[in-house]
Amino acid sequence: MNVSIKDLQVKDMGLGNNGIEVEVYDNQKKHRGDLIVAKGGVEWCPGRTRRGGGIKKSWEDFIACFE
């Protein structure tokens, strides 16, 4: 996988409401989707899905997936 941050405008180390958007590509350079990490939680936007239309998880639900 090739993972990169779309836009990194860091003013401080905390995440704001908009957070950061991470682009995810597979090894054949096919765009898999975007991961948005924000203060309110995380959102996976598969393929060409736009922000707000993806699969959203609160931080509590996200952490529970891994515990």
Query: Phi first, then psi: what are they for 36, rounded to 5°?
Result: -105, 120
pLDDT tens sequence across 9-67: 655 556 677 788 889 999 999 999 999 998 889 999 999 899 999 999 999 999 999 99
The answer to whether position 12 is within a domain reads no
The answer to whether position 32 is within a domain reads yes
The answer to whether position 21 is within a domain reads yes
Q: What is the span of the domain harbouring residue 26? A: 2-7+17-66
pLDDT for the residue numbered 45:
96
The tally of domains found in the chain comes to 1
Closest CA to 24 of 50, 49, 5, 51: 5
Task: Enter the pTM of the model.
Answer: 0.78
* Tokens linked to 17: 């409401």
pLDDT for the residue numbered 28:
93
- As a whole number of angstroms, the distance between CA 22 and CA 60 comes to 20
